[in-house]
């Protein structure tokens, strides 16, 4: 019930014929009472048609519904792609009694393939008829592509609820990743406020993960808030709400990385003592995306030299992030392997599917966290066979 856990939301997931084997491939989420909302999108220059259309709609109206198809990204599809995305929104709006601009459109799947519009519009009709407070699970399944499991999260506040669903497994890297997420809440927000709660939550979650260093054309995170809880807002409740949004986004982001294509190891990277937060983030991202670090993780090899080399080559502000090799310390799974630039001689076994890497630069107060995975043979196989 993730996206329908909050009051006033219904959802559904149906099969419309984009995906094979009767897999659910079209999702619809709708607020039954007027909602406020916001969205964050990929920074890839090759913007998918649904991203272009959804951004336009958010500038014109408050979002009341989100329709998502999986299997076809509707990216690099030219004017036809834009027309198909707008037609999807228009048909959804007609069925739900909304203005077209109140519907956001999301797509995920193969780039460069035209959307089978007849299938999608038929799916929208079926999804509209199936909307239910119990439709959250089907909705979460319908947005999956190479995911091996659906991704849902719920956080309960004092008198309100935040729920969310996401998809993502490969092509994961800020900003954002090949991921889609819809977060819903019955907390009351005023016009223009949703983005102020969404942005910091996304920055510390979906924008701090990497599976393969690839930035997608379709990435989207939507927040819908309908106020159906009826609670009275206070500064304390706003703070609690912000924490709940961060919790849901954080849990969904972790589920995405854990389900990374071919992944066998989840690695949590913590950078401490950097000269600034931005430099800490640059170092964390560089280590998280290093093919040498990721392949060492796959081999369960605590090759900390690769971590040090990656940290020392983190690009920042036209140069490189500050790092003094004589002050650098690295700890892996609680075992110090490098202390103040000198090897300790100790190494962890890395025998399970989880690894914690802490990098201390001893230069300042900058801190950053990042999630990543190993890089396995299966990742290559999955992506080599993606269209075949």
Q: Which sequence positions are flagged as catalytic?
A: 178
Q: Are strands 65-72 and 26-31 parallel, antiparallel or unpaired?
A: antiparallel
Residue 89: both structure tokens together: 């929104």
Look at residues 121, 132, 166, 127 and name the one whose alpha carbon lies nearest to residue 24. Answer: 127
Using DSSP, state whether 54 is helix, strand or coil.
Answer: helix
- Please state, in angstroms and rounded to a whole number, the distance separating the CA atoms of residues 312 and 290: 12
Query: Which residues sit opposite 105 in a β-bridge?
Result: 67
Question: On the CB side of 165, how many CA atoms lie within 13 Å of its CA?
Answer: 27
Distances (CA, A) of 279 to 12, 293, 303, 360: 43, 19, 23, 12
Using DSSP, state whether 385 is helix, strand or coil.
Answer: coil
Which residue do the tokens 């954002």 mark? Answer: 176
Strands (E), the chain: 9-14, 26-31, 36-41, 65-72, 103-110, 151-156, 161-167, 180-185, 209-210, 220-225, 266-274, 315-316, 319-320, 329-332, 335-339, 342-343, 354-360, 366-373
Look at residues 349, 148, 340, 152 and name the one whose alpha carbon lies nearest to residue 254. Answer: 152
Full DSSP string of 182-247: EEEE-S---TT-HHHHHHHHHHTTGGGEESSSPPPS--EEEEEE--TT-PPP-HHHHHHHHHHHHH
Question: On the CB side of 9, how many CA atoms lie within 13 Å of its CA?
Answer: 36
Which residue do the tokens 């983190």 mark? Answer: 314
Are 303 and 287 a contacting pair, CB within 8 Å? no
Q: What angle do CA 99, 58, 281 make, to 5 degrees?
A: 155
């Amino acid at each position: 019930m993730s996206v329908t856990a909050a009051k006033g939301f219904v959802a559904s997931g149906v099969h419309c014929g984009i995906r094979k084997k009767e897999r659910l491939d079209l999702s619809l989420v709708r607020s039954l009472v007027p909602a406020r909302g916001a969205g964050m999108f990929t920074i890839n220059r090759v913007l998918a048609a649904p991203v272009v259309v959804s951004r336009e709609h958010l500038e014109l109206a408050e979002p009341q519904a989100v329709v998502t198809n999986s299997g076809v990204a509707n990216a690099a599809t030219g004017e036809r792609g834009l027309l198909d995305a707008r037609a999807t929104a228009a048909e959804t709006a007609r069925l739900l009694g909304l203005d077209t601009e109140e519907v956001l459109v999301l797509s995920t799947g193969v780039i460069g393939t035209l959307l089978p519009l007849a299938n999608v519009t038929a799916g929208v009709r079926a999804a509209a008829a199936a909307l239910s407070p119990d439709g959250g699970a089907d909705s979460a399944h319908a947005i999956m592509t190479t995911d091996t499991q659906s991704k849902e999260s719920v956080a309960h506040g004092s008198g309100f609820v935040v729920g969310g669903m996401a998809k993502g497994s490969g092509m994961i890297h800020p900003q954002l990743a090949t991921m889609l997420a819809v977060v819903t809440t019955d907390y009351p927000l005023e016009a223009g406020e949703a983005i102020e709660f969404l942005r910091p939550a996304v920055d510390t979650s979906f924008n701090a993960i990497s599976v393969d260093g690839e930035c997608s054309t379709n990435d989207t995170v939507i927040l819908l808030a309908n106020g159906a809880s009826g609670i009275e807002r206070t500064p304390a409740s706003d703070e609690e709400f912000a924490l709940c949004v961060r919790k849901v986004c954080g849990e969904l982001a972790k589920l995405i990385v854990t389900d990374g294509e071919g992944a066998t190891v989840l690695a949590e990277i913590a950078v401490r003592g950097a000269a600034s937060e931005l430099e800490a983030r640059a170092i964390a991202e560089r280590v998280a995306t290093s093919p040498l670090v990721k392949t060492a993780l796959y081999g369960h090899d605590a090759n900390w030299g690769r971590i040090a080399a990656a940290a020392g080559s983190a690009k920042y502000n036209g140069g490189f992030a500050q790092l003094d090799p004589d002050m650098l310390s690295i700890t892996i799974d609680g075992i110090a392997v490098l202390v103040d630039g000198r090897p300790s001689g100790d190494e962890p076994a890395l025998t399970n599917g989880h690894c914690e890497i802490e990098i201390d630069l001893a230069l300042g107060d900058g801190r950053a966290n990042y999630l990543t995975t190993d890089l396995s043979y299966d990742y290559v196989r999955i992506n080599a066979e993606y269209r075949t």
